[in-house]
Amino acid sequence: MKEFHGIIPPAITPLTAGRTLDVAGLERLVEHMISGGVHGIFVLGTTGEGPVLSGQVRRDMIRETVRIVRGRIPVLAGISSASWQDTAELAEYAKSCNVSAAVAAPPCYFKLGEPELEDFYRTLAAEIAMPLFIYNMPDMTKTTISPELVIKLADIPNICGYKDSTGNMIAFHKILLALKDRQDFSLFVGPEELLGESVLYGADGGVSGGANLLPEVFVAMYDAARKGDIAAMQKLQKVIYTNRKLYSIGHHQSSLIKGVKSALRQKGICQDYLAAPFNHFEEPESRIVGDILREVDALTGQK
């Protein structure tokens, strides 16, 4: 079994009304996910609002997550930024907190060419001298990392894995065919509706936002896919698709995070405050969230 495998949820960042870290909420969230069987936790990703949080909250989230986890599972820290210096400095802080690996998307704002992308990852891997995941998230960065470049970057010391959030399974299959048997390199898919088929074809797991809420469902999908249990996968896929209705309640890209945070608030795990300038759902949207949660509970046998 590879060091990094299974379900590694991109944890939401619990916040107070004053937009500081809600440590008590984070403790409940971490314990909820660990009790559901997850294999790691990824902080400060897209679902974690990483790039829009203050530097202080980002450092607090890394430090407190490592403290709460207490070495039970790996902790991965997102270090993505538009600034090279900020990326490198946050990586050094994460390293000082003993995270298991850093995760970096390409710098946002300016679109990078492929030579610049390669130089970015080569330089970053050498600079931070710790395990590093490539994070392909073109919806947010405007830059797509090609399969050919991923395969090339996999030979760089310290680069230990790849998270694909493109939703392009043709491109992901190219990478799977080339790298799935590399024991020193892990392949993860982001879009959770693609988790089952990705693992079935050799991926090492998923970075699934829905596992903040339903860790046991996503762990069960991972296990079923590894066993090739198609009947179980089909049942679990229905739950996953029902749960993902949470992501499209609002009209903006932030609705994904609002839906997950609203659901976690209704489950009594943490509050639903978002980083400024974003606001949580109001009562009409919250009622829809509640309806979806009841629909999911009916499918999973929860009350």
Pairing of strands 6-7, 205-206: parallel
Q: Taking all residues of the chain, what is their mean pLDDT, rounded to a whole number?
A: 95
Residue 98: CB atoms within 10 A of its CB come to 12
What pLDDT is attached to residue 303? 60
Mean pLDDT of 110-118: 89
| Catalytically annotated residue among 13, 87, 121, 135 | 135
pLDDT > 70 fraction of the chain, expressed in percent and rounded:
100
Q: Please list, in sequence order, all residues whose beta carbon lies within 8 angstroms of the beta carbon of residue 248, skipping any fewer than 6 positions away.
A: 255, 259
pLDDT > 90 fraction of the chain, expressed in percent and rounded:
89
- Determine whether 135 is an active site residue: yes
Say whether pLDDT at 145 is over 90. yes
Q: Which CATH architecture has domain 6-228?
A: Alpha-Beta Barrel (3.20)
HEC secondary structure over 242-268: HHHHHHHCCCCCCHHHHHHHHHHHHCC
What gap in Å lies between CA 205 and CA 196, rounded to an integer?
9
| Catalytically annotated residue among 46, 65, 87, 144 | 46
Nearest to 28 by CA among 263, 198, 268: 268
| Catalytically annotated residue among 47, 87, 141, 163 | 163
Which tokens go with 144?
A: 């797509």
Say whether pLDDT at 302 is over 80. no
What pLDDT is attached to residue 199? 98
Kindly list the domain boundaries of the chain, sorted by start residue. Answer: 6-228
- Determine whether 109 is an active site residue: yes
Q: Could you tell me how far CA 140 lies from the centroid of its own chain?
A: 14
pLDDT in tens, 164-210: 999 999 999 999 999 999 999 999 999 999 999 999 999 999 999 99
- Determine whether 162 is an active site residue: no
Residues facing 101 on adjacent strands: 76
What gap in Å lies between CA 109 and CA 98, rounded to an integer?
30
- Determine whether 273 is an active site residue: no
What pLDDT is attached to residue 72? 98
Mean pLDDT of 67-81: 97
Q: Are 253 and 46 in contact (CB under 8 A)?
A: no
Q: Phi, psi at residue 98, to the nearest 5°?
A: 70, 40
pLDDT in tens, 256-293: 899 999 999 999 999 999 999 888 999 999 999 999 99
- Looking at residue 204, its amino acid is D
pLDDT in tens, 31-40: 999 999 999 9
